Amino acid sequence: MALLEVDDLSVTFARRGQRTVHAVDGVSFSVDTGEVVGLVGESGCGKSVTSLAIMGLLPKQPGLRVGGKAVFDGNDLLQLDDRSRRDIRGRDVAMIFQDPLSSLNPVIPIGLQVTEVLARHRGMKGEAAAKEAADLLDRVGIPDPRRRLKEYPHQLSGGMRQRALIAMAVACQPRLLIADEPTTALDVTIQAQILELLKDLVRDSGTALVMITHDLGVVAGMCDTINVLYAGRVVETATRRPLFRQPRHPYTEGLLGSVPRLDAGRGERLNPIPGSVRDLLPWPDGCAFAPRCARRVDACVGEPPELVLTHDARSYRCVNPVPVPGLTPEADARATAPTTTEPGAVPAQAEPADPPAVPGSGPAPREEETP
């Protein structure tokens, strides 16, 4: 059974006198114990809102509506009361944010910011908490941790701050860690170190990780399963290698085509996706990506494309997918599931092209979901 099962999650912001914004519009994905799952998409596709909704951290405001389910360990996180949610946050599910400087409280020392988690969830106090905090800082690669505990965020470098934030997140050995663009605000060299650190932590502790990023390089280096989001919906789910080798959704293909490659020939041009996220069709009127899509056909407009499940444990939401060499489009799609169905109702003979790094991962069959 999956550790986290997000089912048809939707977040809408309704504002008086203005059009309702569907920030997240029916996102479904699952995370297994110890698995690293990527949520990938351009800014504005709803990936951060998804993570905040799961954590219950969306700023409270009138007109905000969260629908669907996010079942963690048998509990729907969206239905929990404030108190139990606070109990789970930081202990079972922790989060790392994008900008380490603004995410740390500037007026209290790093030490207190680490020990307050220990005090809250592990009941540690005084010297014991300080010792544990120093150990944590040491584990995330902060040198001279005892001294750092007394320092303030402005006295640390960007990389150190992100390490400190990670230390706070893993302080209670959570079973699920959500990292929202953890490296975007950092220098490239530091980025690699932080990703390496996250990888090590996940490997050593068996923590599942949801990696939210717009950077396909990050995804390629870390994730077992990748969900590509567009306009608040998952448009393609696949394990790492098949996704990079044979993207099926034109948007995924476009994302891959926009990444500069070292091995590209001289004079070869990048293939950016034309237009911007703003040029989208509301999902009920058809495929949101259609206005920007090079493979658009008449069937794209009118009704939303249904989720297509293929034999190799992947799914995509497209009526005219990128063809795979040697396969006719008809033979490719083994089953066409209703839009709301999760990827996973895969025939038994499914043969993943690339086994996930962690055994037992990959989208879980739906039948097993209810105990």
Which parts of this chain interact with another protein (CB under 8 A)? 55, 57, 59, 62, 82, 85-91, 94-95, 97, 99, 102-109, 112, 116-117, 120-121, 152, 154, 165, 168-169
Query: Residue 56 or residue 286: which is nearer to another protein going by CB?
Result: 56
Is 88 or 229 the residue whose CB approaches another protein more closely? 88
Q: 301, 286 in Cβ contact below 8 A? A: yes
Q: Quick one: 48 or 315, whose CB is closer to another protein?
A: 48
Hey, which residues does 239 pair with through a beta bridge? Answer: 225
DSSP assignment of 203-237? HHH--EEEEEES-HHHHHHH-SEEEEEETTEEEEE
Residue 332 Cβ, how far from another protein at the closest point, in Å? 41
User: Least distance from C-beta 18 to another protein, angstroms?
Assistant: 9
Least gap, CB of 243 to another protein (angstroms): 29
Q: How many other CB atoms are there within 10 angstroms of residue 264's CB atom?
A: 11
Provide the CA 79 distance to its chain's centre, in angstroms: 21
Cβ closest to another protein, residue 88 vs residue 238: 88
Q: How far is the CB of 297 from another protein (least distance, A)?
A: 38
Using CA atoms, how far residue 341 sits from 79, 100, 328, in Å, is 21, 37, 24
Picking from 44, 277, 31, the residue whose alpha carbon sits closest to that of residue 174 is: 31
Q: Check residue 284 and report its DSSP letter.
A: G
Q: Which residue has the tokens 């399963």?
A: 225
Q: Which are the contacts of 224, defined by CB distance < 8 A and separation ≥ 6?
A: 35, 36, 37, 239, 240, 356, 357, 358, 361, 362
Residue 142 vs 179, nearer CB to another protein: 179
> Smaller CB distance to another protein: residue 97 or 230?
97
Burial of 61 (0-12, 13-18, 19+ CB in 10 A): exposed
In the complex, least distance from residue 198 CB atom to another protein, rounded to whole angstroms: 16
Two structure tokens written together for 204: 């050593």
Min separation Cβ 120 and another protein, Å:
6
Q: Please, what is the minimum distance in Å from the beta carbon of residue 166 to another protein?
A: 12
Dmax over Cα atoms in the chain, in whole Å? 68
Structure tokens, 88: 């789970």
Residue pair 250/293 in contact by the 8 Å Cβ criterion: yes
Supply the minimum distance, in Å, between the C-beta of residue 112 and another protein.
8
Residue 70's DSSP bridge partners are 6
Question: Strand, coil or helix: what is 11?
Answer: strand
| DSSP-derived pairing of the beta strands 315-317 and 93-96 | unpaired
**Between 109 and 291, whose beta carbon lies closer to another protein?**
109
- Shortest Å, Cβ 221 to another protein: 25
Nearest CA to 54 out of 68, 36, 64 is that of 68
Residue 357 identity: A
Least gap, CB of 107 to another protein (angstroms): 5
Cβ distance 231 to 273 under 8 Å?
A: no
**Nearest to 244, CA basis, from 260, 234, 255, 233:** 255
